[in-house]
Amino acid sequence: MAARPNTINSSGGVSLTGVRFRYPRGFELNIPAMEIAGGEQVLLAGPSGSGKSTLLHLIAGLEEPTQGEIHIAGTNIFQLRAGARDIFRGRHIGMIFQTFNLLQGFSALENVMLALMLAGYASHDQRARALAALDRLGINEPDARVEALSVGQQQRVAVARAVAGEPCVVLADEPTASLDPANATTSIALIQEAARNSGAALIVTSHDPSLRSAFTRVIEVAA
């Protein structure tokens, strides 16, 4: 199997120090310190509007903190220039969304291959690696357009896309918010297993208290 390009500290997790983020309307998210070890699985809990998603976006480098430092696998991501931070995100962070955010018009395979391309995998590695990831997650129609797949299959494609590049950390933003309790449990187990298999730390946000039992560590977030 081809090595992940430009791997930094694959066992490294996520570290936040003195992070503050001020919203335009004046609220402030304050995270004095947070350590998530490599391979650890954490639930960020809290009511809607508490800042869980913002915290995830800060860790992904999509939002810039007002102050503080965020290290991913040992790299202070906000010391990187914007372009370098984008490339870092593609290579070391996988993201899963409530509505999956798959690219319409692309097949399941292409959605995963695209993530691998942006993660820096050579074109000859992309197809095999994407097919393997989809196969592990039970997608047996990789060439089907994503809009033709069921909701459950779409979520599996989204998970495959997040983990196929073997990231250091997988961020899942309210991945079960639109599912019924039975499917939510199955879904979170799928994500946890995929992250575990790829050796990535997993940070999940959810306002659903029933998910707490699935995680050994729960961090309460309050703005």
Partner 1 sequence: MNDMIIVIRSLSARRLTSAVTIGMVMVAVALLLVLLSLREAAAQAFRRGTGNVHLLVSADASPLVAVLNGLFYANAPANPIAWSKYNEIRESFPWQWAIPTQLGDSFRGSPVMATDAAFLRDFVPVVGSPFAWEVGGAFEREFEVVAGAQAARAHGLHIGQKIVLNHGTSGSREGGHEHADHPYTVVGILKPTGSAHDRALFTNLESSWIIHAEDRRESEAGAGEEDHEHAHEHEHDHEHVAAADLTDADKLITGILLRLPTRPGSDASASIAPQMDRLRRDTSITVAQPAQQIGRLMAIVGDVDWLFLAMAIVVLVSSAISILLAMISAMELRRRQVAVLRVLGASAWRVFALAITESTLIGLVGALLGVALAVVGCELASALLARRIGMVIAGAIDGRSASMVVAGAVILAALAGVLPAVKSYRTPVARHLRPLA
| Strand-pair category, 67-72 with 75-76 | antiparallel
Q: Which is nearer to partner 1, 116 or 194 (CB)?
A: 116
Q: How far is the CB of 90 from partner 1 (least distance, A)?
A: 2
Residue 108 in tokens: 């399941």
Q: φ and ψ at 155, to 5 degrees?
A: -65, -35
Q: Which is nearer to partner 1, 119 or 188 (CB)?
A: 119
Do residues 112 and 165 touch, judged by C-beta distance below 8 A? no
Q: How far is the CB of 198 from partner 1 (least distance, A)?
A: 16
Q: How far is the CB of 182 from partner 1 (least distance, A)?
A: 21
Q: Which is nearer to partner 1, 34 or 95 (CB)?
A: 95
Q: How far is the CB of 216 from partner 1 (least distance, A)?
A: 27
Q: Which of 182, 130, 180 is nearest to 156 (CA)?
A: 130
Q: Which is nearer to partner 1, 119 or 211 (CB)?
A: 119
Q: How far is the CB of 100 from partner 1 (least distance, A)?
A: 10
CA–CA separation, 164 and 137 (whole Å): 11
Which residues contribute to the site for partner 1 (CB under 8 A)? 53-54, 57, 60, 62-63, 82-83, 86-91, 95, 97-99, 101-106, 110, 113-120, 123, 126, 161, 173, 177-178
Do residues 125 and 2 touch, judged by C-beta distance below 8 A? yes
First to last CA, the chain: 43
Q: How far is the CB of 104 from partner 1 (least distance, A)?
A: 6
Within 61-213, where are the H helices? 82-92, 108-118, 123-136, 151-163, 181-198
CA–CA separation, 217 and 117 (whole Å): 33
Q: Which is nearer to partner 1, 17 or 99 (CB)?
A: 99
Do residues 13 and 93 touch, judged by C-beta distance below 8 A? no
Q: How far is the CB of 123 from partner 1 (least distance, A)?
A: 7
Q: Which is nearer to partner 1, 88 or 215 (CB)?
A: 88
- Which one-letter DSSP state was computed for residue 167? -
- Helix (H) or strand (E) holding 59, with range, is helix 52-60
Q: Which is nearer to partner 1, 118 or 218 (CB)?
A: 118
